[in-house]
Amino acid sequence: MTQNETNWPVALCATDSGAQAAAVNALRELLHVGLRIALNGRSDVSEAHLEDFAQESLLRVLDRLDQFQGRSQFTTWAQAIALNVAFTELRRKRWQDVSLDALLADGERLADLAVIADDVLGAEEDRTRLVGALRNAIEKDLTPKQRAAILGELREMPFDQIVELLGTSRSAGYKMLHDARRALKQRLQEAGITGADIQSAFD
């Protein structure tokens, strides 16, 4: 049987301890190879990192075996988990020195009306109207934490880091951000700006 044909969930739970160990080792190697391909060329990733990510990913995959639904190949599903493990850790390291105060101060910049220029998207009347309505909605409809979260996202700060700094859970943080986006969108629509206007504004 080739590696692609392996029934991984069965092999990883085999009662024969030798067979199970072989499957675990094969999966660790497969994850290691995938991570090497995905992270090739990054100066912040060493061989030791790859080893650590592969081991951590293996444990995560084994822990979630019951969540595999068989809707893709097992190896693709496992690689997706491994990449999540690796990128989450790399992002955490990159942003670990950002403080809550800095994030909230950044968010407050967004509440400052002068921080978004009228003509930032162009001088056409419909675009300046959209920008004006957006500024107004950001100031009136968002909480400081929502503003901070949105600016954190714009800076490509990891979502895990944003919610950690804001002292909330991932699901609550996601809801907070989703509520903020919906509130802004609704306010724009109330100002007569349609979804099509929003889409076309940045084409």
Provide, rounded to whole angstroms, the least separation between the CB of residue 178 and another protein: 6
In angstroms, what is the minimal distance from the CB of 73 to another protein? 7
Which one of residues 6, 24, 56, 87 is an interface residue with another protein (CB under 8 A)? Answer: 87
| Residues of this chain, 143-172, that bind another protein according to CB under 8 A | 150, 153-154, 156, 158-159, 170-171
Minimum CB distance to another protein, residue 17 (Å): 29
- Is the CB of 23 or the CB of 74 nearer to another protein? 74
Amino acid, res. 56: E
Question: In angstroms, what is the minimal distance from the CB of 155 to another protein?
Answer: 8
Query: Which residues sit at the interface with another protein, rule CB under 8 A?
Result: 34, 37-39, 67, 69, 71-73, 76-77, 79-81, 83-84, 87, 91, 109-110, 112, 114-117, 120-121, 130-131, 134, 150, 153-154, 156, 158-159, 170-171, 174, 178, 181-182, 184-185, 188, 195, 198-199, 201-202
